[in-house]
Every structure is written in C-alpha cells, then in structure tokens.
Amino acid sequence: MRPVHKEFEVNGSTYHVQKFTVDAGMRFALKVGAALAGAVPAFLAGQGDSLGRFQAALSSANLDAAKFDALAAEARPQIVLPNNMKASDPVAFEAWFDEHPGDVLQVHALAVWKLVEDFMPPSLRTLAAATPSAAVKA
C-alpha cells in the first residue's frame, strides 16, 4: 500500500504531499507525462536517482509557463506547508511563500514529482542505478 503522504525538504523546511487516489494519480501522471514527453531522453540519460532524472527532464523540457501553472495548480491542494496549513488555502499560501519566495517553484515541482513517482514503471525508477554514466545522450 502506498503511503498516505510523502515528504520532501526545500531549504531546510519539510513539506508534505497527500497522495491522490489511484484513479486521480494515474490521470495526473498522464498529464505530467504529456507535458514532459519531449524530455524523456533527458530523463533516461540523467544521473542519480529518479528525482535527479526528473529534475533534469524538467529543466530540459522547455515547459511553458501555462503547462507548469496547470500542473502546479492541480498539485497545490495536496501540499501541506511546514506550518501544517494547506497550500490550497490562499491566505496560508501567501503568508508562507511571502516569507519563503525562493521556495515556491521548487516546492511545486517536487510536489508534482512526489505525486507521480509511484505511477512510474519500476524500470524507470531504478534505471540510473543500473545505467553507466556514459548513458545515451539526447
């Protein structure tokens, strides 16, 4: 069974992401996959764990602002801020990120990743450990 929530850290603050239902998670993973389709070669050639490869893919995807905004908006209700307030609460969101403006984009990108990583094929989650550093370049 998947955990009820996952956590990640940005600049010393711990954030939580509440999981989607399997159906909603699958649909969200398909949206993320479609948005990042051009970045699959960068993902496969990336270094480190699956999060590192996701970050490489995200940076190489030429993801336009509207696509990122749509993914972030869909992920936001699942984010619990370090002060235990929901990021979907506009007042809590503004208050927290007014004090931590440098975290807002990274928090949303990592929340998207945490919401979809369980839906990735196991071979993609473990590929970097088995792939030499001279991986096929995109």
Check: CB of residue 46 under 8 Å from CB of residue 56. yes
The residue that leads in pLDDT, 64 or 137, is: 64
pLDDT, mean of residues 81-106: 96
**Is 137 part of a structural domain of the chain?**
no
Domain count, the chain: 1
Domain enclosing residue 9, as ranges: 5-130
Check: CB of residue 15 under 8 Å from CB of residue 107. yes
Q: Please, which pLDDT band fits residue 122 given cuts at 50, 70 and 90? A: low
Write the pLDDT tens digit of every residue in 30-48. Answer: 898 887 776 666 666 666 6
**Is 126 part of a structural domain of the chain?**
yes
Is residue 21 pLDDT above 60, yes or no? yes
**Is 22 part of a structural domain of the chain?**
yes
The residue that leads in pLDDT, 131 or 93, is: 93
DSSP structure class, residue 138: -
pLDDT of residue 34: 82
pLDDT of residue 133: 32
Tokens standing for residue 63: 């993801």
pLDDT of residue 119: 84
Is residue 83 pLDDT above 90, yes or no? yes
Lowest mean pLDDT segment, chosen from 8-17, 82-91, 92-101, 125-134: 125-134
How far are the Cα atoms of 6, 42, 49, 56, 138 from residue 52, in angstroms, in the given order? 17, 11, 5, 6, 16
**Is 138 part of a structural domain of the chain?**
no
pTM score, whole prediction = 0.76
pLDDT of residue 1: 53
**Is 56 part of a structural domain of the chain?**
yes
